[in-house]
Amino acid sequence: MSEEIKYKIEKLSKEIEEHNYNYYVLSNPTISDFEFDKLLEELIKLEKEHPEYLKSDSPSQRVGGQITKEFKTVKHKYPMLSLGNTYNEEDLKDFDERIRKTGVTDFEYVCELKYDGVSISLTYVDGKLKQAVTRGDGDKGDDVTANVKTINSIPLKLRGDDYPKEFEIRGEIFMPKKEFLRINDEMRKQLIEEGYDEEEIFEKQLKNPRNATSGTLKQQDSKAVAERKLDCYLYALLGENFPFESHYESLEAAKRWGFKVSGDMEKVSSLDGVLKYLEKWDTKRHSLNVETDGVVLKVNSFEQQKYLGFTAKSPRWAIAYKFKAAQVSTILESISYQVGRTGSITPVANLKPVQLAGTTVKRATLHNADIIEKLDIREGDTVFVEKGGEIIPKIIGVDKSKRHIHHNDDLFREVSHPTKYITHCPECGTELVRKEGEANHYCPNELGCPPQVKGKMEHFVMRKAMDIDSLGEETIEQLYDASLIKTIADIYELKKEDLLKLERMAEKSANNLLDGIEASKKVPFERVLFAIGIRHIGETTAKKLAFYFKNIDALKNATLEQLLEVGDIGEKTAQTIIDYFADEKCIEIINKLKHHGLQFELSEEQMVNTSDKLKDLSFVVSGVFSKFSRDELKKTIEQNGGKNVGSISGKTSYVLAGENMGPEKHKKAEKLGVPIISEEDFINMIK
């Protein structure tokens, strides 16, 4: 029996790795994602039941879970050198001549793209990934093996049987452009829900794929790495007694062993060939799903490489050519101002459409008044727009020479005036404010400024808030434009005959909508508190406040000191709460909502089960329980002031373990010294 299971695990592992290779290395999947997930699930289940057969190179390890508290520093066997940089044809000619002067005249170059990520050195022993180390200072780097194992295109086990017993392979780990955009998009949605404004979102988002890659690789929890789909191109093989004569040949072999080697490299026999390669990729690179910032030239023959040798810092047989950041100039036709859901104003440059790095650029954010002033940017200006590693186009300067016109024979005159930043809201006309220390202007008319009001309503009806899903963005717009709803409280005064007057609103939809509104009156207090949209109060903070103060009046009367006692609430948030309740109009809305029967206190059941006994404690709940469901336990943790976290780290206070908790979790908790408690222990804690 056990032999049979061992065999099954091995067979499944092999099958999964094969699909993994097809998908991530060859980009040629042969089964659906669903089928793949099923196989992986089956393997994970078998390994859980038979932990004795769990191998360190099992494909299940790619989902992560291992925590690295501190990355070990490792000395590189072969130092990780950098390359000399060149920026133009002239520099390349010099490089080519330097080689020829040494007597090496008959040689080939391999041209490769220079990937903009984080360089990594992988060590393989007996065909298995043993260690992954970052470049560090070139001499010593960080051991990031656990994190690198989650990267699907990096083989844990090699294919074929002609690989050397021990070798290193180097390459670049990167975050694909699409993944970068996906993460930022998700982050943005989450931050909007939590009430952050555009400028704060911009600050918090990932800045560029390279930064994002290095940040991700330094995560302590490898599960977090697995969630961000990093990728890796390998471009150099290092070791002793290789049977290859050239770099190109060695990479072909690496490809056979299962490594992802770029198909975009080319062998050329002269500088002319190099220049053709540069020309081809100067624009084509923008259509790749990976950021590139140049081309790397390498002398192909290993013997010639050896002869040419190294300077103190870099090889004499290789050089990097850096692409100029894609840049164009265009006319700034106008500056417009957007008002966000939170009232924050973002100035936007409307440009004469121009092609840049494969896309048409029409707009670029100008961020805030300071930036406009610093660049002295004016409508009608000719501006330089750049698209570097940031993906989002950026205005980097003004061509001031174009601002002068020929006035008469010898006089040039400036025809524009410095931009005057708007003083009043373009949507509602209210005078803007700018708080000390903040870069952004705000429209303070929270309850009367159309985008702010509509935004508040969209937030209010969200699934995680009042969950009135039949009230979508479009209907809100219609109702608002028809003056049927001016505040969130008006939603509860909507009548069927009002609704039927709207375009595309049939009897059935109207009934649905009214039913949804009625049902929302039962939504518990903590979600109502989140729904009313106090700035900086996200879902989690709302829950904490609700369980701490138990009803809205206690929260309304809370002092700054009391608010600061609630875990994780800082001064800024506390002050926003105080400001909110000091505003008569806000109080009026709350009173109306109360009158309509919304929940503004914890239910009796919640009251009974509520305390702050678990304040400052965090729990990982795992396994199957006998008295309560996992969700009930999680809710109880929150109601008693505790926090639920997804995975075990050194900071976790307890692991609440039921039946069938995974052996890996068990091991991890023990390793990190996190106490494991049972359902009974937990019930005793809150008694």
**Active site amino acids:** 114
Q: How far is the CB of 82 from ligand IVH (least distance, A)?
A: 4
Distance CA 628, CA 634 (A): 10
Q: How far is the CB of 320 from ligand IVH (least distance, A)?
A: 5
Give Cβ neighbours of residue 596 (< 8 Å, ≥ 6 apart).
489, 492, 493, 521
Distance CA 352, CA 360 (A): 10
Q: Find how far residue 83's CA is from the centre of its chain.
A: 30
- Contact between 514 and ligand IVH by CB under 6 A: the answer reads no
Distances (CA, A) of 506 to 310, 401, 500, 598: 77, 60, 6, 27
Q: How far is the CB of 473 from ligand IVH (least distance, A)?
A: 44
Distance CA 192, CA 189 (A): 5
Site residue total, ligand IVH (CB under 6 A): 15
287 phi and psi angles, rounded to 5 deg: -90, 0
Spell out, one character per residue from 156 to 195, where the chain touches ligand IVH: x when CB under 6 A holds, - when not: ----------------x-----------------------
Give Cβ neighbours of residue 55 (< 8 Å, ≥ 6 apart).
13
Q: How far is the CB of 296 from ligand IVH (least distance, A)?
A: 4
Distance CA 265, CA 43 (A): 37
Q: How far is the CB of 136 from ligand IVH (least distance, A)?
A: 11
CA-wise closest residue to 196 among 339, 338, 344:
344
Give whichever of 170 and 341 is closer to ligand IVH, judged by the CB atom. Answer: 170
Of 146-154, 242-250, 315-323, 675-683, the window that binds ligand IVH (rule: CB under 6 A) is 315-323
Give whichever of 201 and 295 is closer to ligand IVH, judged by the CB atom. Answer: 295
Number of C-beta neighbours around residue 652 at 10 A? 19
Q: How far is the CB of 644 from ligand IVH (least distance, A)?
A: 39
Residues 188-247 that bind ligand IVH (CB under 6 A): 235-236
Amino acid at position 405, single letter: I
Give whichever of 155 and 171 is closer to ligand IVH, judged by the CB atom. Answer: 171
Give whichever of 168 and 197 is closer to ligand IVH, judged by the CB atom. Answer: 168
Q: Which of 27, 73, 82, 611 binds ligand IVH (CB under 6 A)?
A: 82
Q: Write out the DSSP string of 604-642.
A: HHHHHT--STTTT-EEEEESB-SSS-HHHHHHHHHHTT-
Residues 254-313 that bind ligand IVH (CB under 6 A): 296
Q: Which residues of 536-573 are buried (b: 16+ CB within 10 A; e: fewer)?
A: bbbbebbbbbbbbbbebeebbebeeeebeebeebeeeb
Residues 41-80 that bind ligand IVH (CB under 6 A): none
Q: How far is the CB of 213 from ligand IVH (least distance, A)?
A: 11
Q: Write out the DSSP string of 96-123.
A: HHHHHHTT--S--EEEEEEE-SEEEEEE
Residues 112-141 that bind ligand IVH (CB under 6 A): 112, 114-115, 119, 135
Distance CA 372, CA 390 (A): 19
Give whichever of 297 and 471 is closer to ligand IVH, judged by the CB atom. Answer: 297
Give Cβ neighbours of residue 46 (< 8 Å, ≥ 6 apart).
5, 8, 9, 12, 53
Give whichever of 233 and 548 is closer to ligand IVH, judged by the CB atom. Answer: 233
Of all residues in this chain, which one has the CB nearest to ligand IVH in the complex? 119
Give whichever of 236 and 489 is closer to ligand IVH, judged by the CB atom. Answer: 236
Q: Which of 54, 83, 271, 685 binds ligand IVH (CB under 6 A)?
A: 83
Q: How far is the CB of 293 from ligand IVH (least distance, A)?
A: 8
Q: How far is the CB of 89 from ligand IVH (least distance, A)?
A: 20
φ/ψ bin of 247: left (φ > 0), alpha (ψ from -120 to 50), beta (otherwise): alpha
Give whichever of 253 and 453 is closer to ligand IVH, judged by the CB atom. Answer: 253
Distance CA 494, CA 491 (A): 6
Assigned token pair, 659:
């039946």
Q: Which of 29, 164, 215, 315 binds ligand IVH (CB under 6 A)?
A: 315
CA-wise closest residue to 253 among 232, 230, 236, 265:
236
Amino acid at position 557, single letter: N
Give whichever of 81 and 224 is closer to ligand IVH, judged by the CB atom. Answer: 81
Which residues here bind ligand IVH, judged by CB under 6 A? 81-83, 112, 114-115, 119, 135, 172, 235-236, 296, 315, 318, 320
